[in-house]
Structure 1
Amino acid sequence: MMRLLPVLALLLVGVPALAQQQPPGAPANETVQPQDVSARVDPKQVRIGDPFLYEVVITHPKDHRYELVLPKETGDIEVLDQTRQRKDGTDTATTTFGVRMSAFALGMVQLPALSFDVATPEGPKKFSLPGREVEVTSTLPPDADGKGADLFDYQPPQEVPIRSWRLVLALLVVLGLSLLSFLLYRWWSNRPKREVVVPVLPLDVRTRKALDTLKAEDLPSRGHVKDFYFRLSEIIRGYLGERYGFEALECTSSELMASLRRLHAPGLPEDALMRFVSESDMVKYARADSTPESCRDALAFGYTLIEKTYIPPPPPQASANAAAPHVQ
């Protein structure tokens, strides 16, 4: 019994330590901090409804890729569009995001926080940037109250004297041409149309043909590994989007996996797809190297994905008017 006491003591000390250890393969941290971040609003003072630029400049390691995720809840701010530019240096890279916005509230308005998806060699991570403030002013001049704000409002129609009938004749000609154009458009729209039926190959056949074409080009052996992964990623994303009914080509890598997890996708090799997406992003955006064996395995994954997930549509039922066998 005395000999068992040291062993039990070691077990009691070692079990909590093992419980605190991180499981193999788990990400060390879900967030990442870039080397430098700067943000500015141009101009700092805008009129209500006028567009302005919210520019964010991020300096980060060269093998990291930052993608902006636009906020869904923006309050008094409307997001118009965004731009993204990247400039690589020796060891670092600078990514500049420009977000055009407009505000619809007076005073100091808080801009929404921006979130970024970051592709790193250790796996996907997140980065969040708090929003800045912009001063929003009225469209009326400062002395509008003293001069009468109603002077800047819309005025009712004023009577304009016409010295001749030329304007009336011109308006009649314009109305006649407009009526004639409308009648021609109605006739053209309602004319009998011949339906042209173009046979469309099944999804699996079209996807395999695309994979066969990519395989025949043998891009990796010619030094075009990056182009190979771009083409293969578009083929696989196009197949997944048409197979499960969502915009897979417009999704980021994290959005692609999140959409597939929400859908009913029996047979989908999620782990293999996640490895392909990560390897593809590293080659396409982080300039990582890939061996010929890895390229062959990635191409073989495309064929395997079709075999495991494609379900042929049911055969069309025979028409009720189809010829039936005659009984003598």
Structure 2
Amino acid sequence: MRVRKKYTLLNSFIILLVLIFSSAFNLCAQNITVEAALEKQEILIGDQIVLNLKLLQPINETVEFPVFNEKLTDTIEIISQSKFDTTDLKNGSVLIQKNILITAFDSGFYKISPIAFLHKSKNSTDTLKTKPFWLKVNTVQLDTTNVIKDIKAPYRAPIGFYEILPWALGVIGLAIIGFIIIYIIRKIKRKEPIFRRFRPVEPAHIIALRELEKLKNDKLWQHEKIKDYYTRLTDIIRIYLSNRYAIKTLECTSEEILQSLKQSEFDDDKSFSILKDLFQTSGLVKFAKFKPMSEENERCLIGAYEFVDRTKLIIIENNEGTDSVNEKVVETVKN
């Protein structure tokens, strides 16, 4: 009897301990809640829907979210997963949420099994699960009353500028190559050089002397065209000065031209005097209707020749051994 009584007391003590630990665990578990919910229960094939996971837990507890790969089930695929959104409820608890974007490509009524969260404590590890739920995936309804139509032809998008550009550049390039080939063939047949040598620019004094010779041969003042004679004479000298000294002469008055020569360190007094006398006589003829004598007309032409000859630029080439050195020397030819 005494032994039986001892066993009865021991069993009662063990049962009491189990009840105490169970109550403590249930009290702790009641403070942790997990939830999974879809934003809607039905979708069409290929549509996307958000699955929201919520975890409410005390701050000092450790609960791990489930880890998902590419699929939630065999038929439901995961497209993306958001980061955890943690909210402090200011009462010793936190709310943690996570959104999972899912889709399905087969129609049907699919059950999503409870999703497990892992609760870890100092002495034990437990699994907390959500409630199971269903997702209906519908197909696109076909209107069987309409006549079956043929498949539409592929849609042709308009051709853009950047699609045409390579072809256009290619055609232009081929045209240029063809032109070059034809040009070379013609030159070979005509026995002409393929590349022309450009004639060097004539010196300013050569141009001026040629124009003065033309003016002399035209004999304008001999035919009573005094004004035309002096106009051409001064124009020849103006163009010569522009080419020789790189000063603007065609748009300037005679006085402005003479002033520009002084500023360009023109130091030939006799040439300056010839030019000044020529401009003064020309001005009297063009604006004061002055009619000079034949000797005066001839003297102005001779003065123009002399001015060009005294101020012309002479190029001297010096060759030493195999080295050729071209030196430009400005010379003023004086009588």
TM-score (norm 1): 0.40
State the structure with bigger RCO (CA 8 A, min sep 6), 1 or 2: 1
TM-score (norm 2): 0.39
